[in-house]
Amino acid sequence: MAPVSWMLVISALALTTEGINGFSVRREPAFVMHSGRVTSTNGRSSSAVHQPRQHIRPSTTRLRMSTAVAEAPQAEAPETEETETYAFQAEVSRVMDIIVNSLYTDKDVFLRELVSNAADACDKRKLLMMKEGVYNGEGGVKIKADKEQKVLVVEDAGIGMNKTELVNNLGTIAQSGTAKFLQQVAEGSVESSLIGQFGVGFYSSFLVADKVEVVSKRFGDKQHRWCSVPGGTFTVGPDNSEEIEGSGTRIILHLKEDCDEYLEDYKIKELLRKYSEFIQFPISVWSEKVDYERVPDPDAPSKPGETPKMKTVTKRYFEWERVNTQPPIWRRNPADLVDDDYNEFYKSTFKAYDDPLGYIHFKVEGQVEFS
């Protein structure tokens, strides 16, 4: 059995029982610490960190990756004669209706699900590249809003999808997870916090968007666009917008009238820090920055030889800002960490200003239970 890393942080006042503010990533749940027992976020105890099961198609071609993201949301590509229209399968339509109209009371979860899916795609790409011996650490998620077009774009440098996968994964085939989800809904036992495990979290996009487009590209394949269409149908066809370098997926959300708050970078960053702080791949948001600069005031009178009067001017600009700056240190080797790593983790996670009184971080093998 692989070693399992544990960590206990003690505050200056008492042993803290506040949970680590991570979130459940599909197939790789985050773990929360309560009074010395490590539990999954659904409350069940676990004695080992769950490792995701990956299914990667073998490849014999060496791959080159890029994390490039379009600098602005691209207008949809015009339909061509190769674009085909499909009807959502009945089970998928039921899932969409349940998610949008019944299951969720908080629209914020759409971002959690999309980032979780993006992280899964990056993880699959990482495993594939490691198998090919060409992994260079690239990968990540970038999020950008366009207030004029009322569009929010979530793009990853993951494994991507070809045309067949776009059709199958997003509309026509009732995957086993979809059937299980519908069964648990009928039994009244499904929780919105666990929806990602069924593979249907993508449909939470329709909580905030009345139209969703997915541009995706696999290595060595053409780029295609999936587009939801009113009336229970969707189209899939070739895409000629800005090309995704290497592979990846770009999700374009055309937001509803009452969802303008998700166009604000501060709102996006707030949700990412709440749900996605410990995603292993970098998550960046296109953010507005403000700088203040002192410059000579040409309108202020001054006498010859005097030092010109100054004024403060505001300079606004945009740049990519990484949000998940705190890696999950409980998954790292204690020998590779220093005191500052634990102190910063404690302050960031528990919103504290002082250093912890102490910490314990160790690895064990076998089945271990803390009570």
Q: Tell me which DSSP letter residue 75 carries.
A: P
Whether residue 140 sits in one domain with residue 269: yes
Q: Residue 50 pLDDT > 50, yes or no?
A: no
CATH number for position 197? 3.30.565.10
End-to-end C-alpha distance for the chain, whole angstroms: 22
Residue 323 lies in a domain: no
Q: Mark whether 354 and 211 lie in a shared domain.
A: no
Tell whether 128 and 255 lie within a shared domain: yes
**Residues 182 and 245 placed together within one structural domain of the fold:** yes
Same domain, 211 and 250: yes
Q: Is the same domain home to 41 and 93?
A: no
User: Which residue type sits at 331?
Assistant: R
Q: Higher-confidence residue: 105 or 218? A: 218
pLDDT per position as a tens digit, 226-276: 999 767 899 999 999 999 999 999 999 999 999 999 999 999 999 998 888
SS in 3 state form for 8-23?
EEECCCCECCCCCCCC
CA-to-CA distance for 280 and 327, rounded, in angstroms?
7
Q: Which residue has the tokens 């370098």?
A: 245
Query: Is 21 contained in some domain?
Result: yes
Asked, for residue 110, whether it belongs to a domain, the answer is yes
What whole-number distance in Å separates Cα of residue 16 and Cα of residue 322? 28
In the three-class reduction of DSSP (H, G, I as helix; E, B as strand; rest coil), residue 262 is classed as helix
- Higher pLDDT among residues 88 and 303, named by residue: 88
Strand pairing category for 209-217 and 224-229: antiparallel
Asked whether 199 and 176 are in contact (CB, 8 A), the reply is no
Rounded CA-CA distance 241/224 in Å is 10
Q: Which tokens is 337 given?
A: 């960490």
Amino acid occupying residue 107 = K
Q: Quick one: 47 and 97 in the same domain?
A: no
Structural domains counted in the chain: 2
Helices (H), the chain: 90-98, 109-132, 163-167, 176-187, 265-275, 339-350
**Of 242, 276, 310, which residue constitutes the final position of a domain?**
276
* Distance from C-alpha of 118 to C-alpha of 283, rounded to nearest angstrom: 10
Q: What pTM was estimated for this model as a whole?
A: 0.66
C-alpha of 296 from chain center: 45
Tell which of 258, 276, 294 closes a domain. Answer: 276
What is the distance between the alpha carbons of residues 93 and 54, in angstroms, rounded to a whole number?
27
Whether residues 43 and 159 share a domain: the answer is: no
Q: Does any domain span residue 105?
A: yes
Per residue in 151-196, pLDDT (tens digit) is: 999 999 999 999 999 998 888 655 545 566 566 667 665 555 545 5
In a domain, 370, yes or no: yes
Does residue 217 sit within a domain? Answer: yes
Question: Residue 311: is its pLDDT beyond 80?
Answer: yes
Q: Are residues 122 and 247 in the same domain?
A: yes
Do the domain assignments include residue 286? no
pLDDT value at 61 more than 80: no
Q: Which domain holds residue 108?
A: 69-74+81-276
Whether residue 34 is found in the same domain as residue 88? no
- Of 241, 257, 276, the one marking the end of a domain is 276
Amino acid in the structure at residue 288? E
Residue pair 249/121 in contact (Cβ under 8 Å)? The answer is: yes
CB 180 within 8 A of CB 198: yes
Q: Say yes or no: 117 and 207 in one domain.
A: yes
- Does 366 lie in the same domain as 228? no
Token pair 């202020």 is at which residue? Answer: 300
Residue reference for tokens 């899932």: 95
Residue 314 lies in a domain: no
